[in-house]
Amino acid sequence: MVRVPTKLVTWDEIVEWSMGLAETIKRRGFKPDIVIAVSRGGYVPARLICDFLLVDNLISLQSQHWTEAAKVAEKALIKFPYKVDLSGLRALLVDDIVDTGDTLILAKDFIASEWNPKDLKIAALQWISPVAKIKPDFYYIEVKEWIWFQYPWTRHEDTTQFIKRILLEKKEIKREWSYNEIKTEFEESYGIFVGDAYFKLALNTLVELGILEKKNDVFVIKMT
C-alpha cells in the first residue's frame, strides 16, 4: 500500500504547466516588470515564466519550510535576507507549489515591507486547495487531494531522503538489503520509481554519508 502518494513530474510537464500558467497570467491582464523566484523550488518555473511573458528582470528570495522530502519544518524562514528597491515595479512572486502556503506568505510579507513594489502578485504551478493557507493570484492546477509532487530538480535529494526514511524505519527488523529489495520497498511506499540512474546515485550518496555500507551486492544500515 502506498504510504505517501507521490506524482513523478517530468520536464515536459514542467514546460507545459509553466506555459499554461503564463497564459493564465496574460489572460488576466497582469504584466509584471520583474519576476521573483521563491528558491529553491521556484527557480525553474520562474525562469520559464520570464521566457513565456518576455520579462527580462529575474531575482530570487529563499523562503524555506520543508526540511526534507515530504517533511515540514516547524516554521518557515527567510534565509539570507537582502534589500532591493522595487518602487514603481509590478512584481510576480513565483513558486512551484502552494502546499501549506507558509513560505509564500512569509516571502510576500517580506517583499511588500522590505522591497516596496508597486504591485505584488503570486503565481504557482500547483495549488493544494484543501490545506493551503493562501490562494495564489494565478495557478495552473488545483490539487484537491494532498500529494507529494516529485519535481525533476529535487529527484536526487528526494530519492535519497525517501530511501533513508524507509531503511531507518525498518532497521530494527532488517539491516541488510539488496538493491532489488530497496527498489521494491521504495515503489510500494511511494508508488513511483525514479529510474536506476537516480536510484543508484541516491544509494551511493547514503554510502558516502555513512548511513549505509556496501558489502559486495548488499547495503548494510550503519546508523544506530
| CA dihedral for 95, 96, 98, 102, sign (positive or negative) | negative
The reply to whether 18 and 71 lie within a common domain is yes
Containing domain of residue 111, as a range? 6-150
Among candidate residues 102, 119, 150, the one where a domain is terminated: 150
Question: Rounded to whole angstroms, how far apart are CA atoms 187 and 11?
Answer: 21
The reply to whether 124 and 25 lie within a common domain is yes
What is the pLDDT at residue 74? 55
DSSP assignment string, 17-64: HHHHHHHHHHHTT---SEEEEEETTTHHHHHHHHHHHT--EEEEEEEE
- Those residues with Cβ within 8 angstroms of residue 169's Cβ, 6 or more apart along the chain or in another chain: none
Structural Rg of the chain based on CA atoms: 20
The reply to whether 108 and 166 lie within a common domain is no
Q: Which of 95, 205, 97, 223 is nearest to 156 (CA)?
A: 205
The reply to whether 197 and 176 lie within a common domain is yes
| Strand 218-221, strand 90-98: pairing | unpaired
CB 141 within 8 A of CB 32: no
In a domain, 137, yes or no: yes
What is the pLDDT at residue 178? 95
What is the pLDDT at residue 172? 83
The reply to whether 39 and 92 lie within a common domain is yes
The reply to whether 199 and 90 lie within a common domain is no
Q: Tell me the three state secondary structure of residue 147.
A: coil
Q: Tell me the three state secondary structure of residue 12.
A: helix
Proportion of the chain above pLDDT 90, given as a percent: 80
In a domain, 188, yes or no: yes
The reply to whether 207 and 114 lie within a common domain is no
What is the pLDDT at residue 2? 58
The reply to whether 21 and 131 lie within a common domain is yes
Banded pLDDT at 223 (limits 50, 70, 90) = low
Residue 134 pLDDT > 70: yes
pLDDT digits (tens, 9 = 90+) for 164-210: 999 998 888 889 999 999 999 999 999 999 999 999 999 999 999 99
pLDDT digits (tens, 9 = 90+) for 106-115: 999 999 999 9
What is the pLDDT at residue 76? 75
The reply to whether 105 and 188 lie within a common domain is no
Question: Rounded to whole angstroms, how far apart are CA atoms 188 and 4?
Answer: 10
Q: What is the mean pLDDT of residues 36-50?
A: 96
In a domain, 1, yes or no: no
Q: Tell me the three state secondary structure of residue 180.
A: helix
pLDDT digits (tens, 9 = 90+) for 44-95: 999 999 999 999 999 999 987 655 544 554 567 888 999 999 999 999 999 9
The reply to whether 194 and 93 lie within a common domain is no
CATH number at residue 109: 3.40.50.2020
Among candidate residues 150, 182, 211, the one where a domain is terminated: 150
pLDDT digits (tens, 9 = 90+) for 141-177: 999 998 899 999 999 999 999 999 999 988 888 899 9
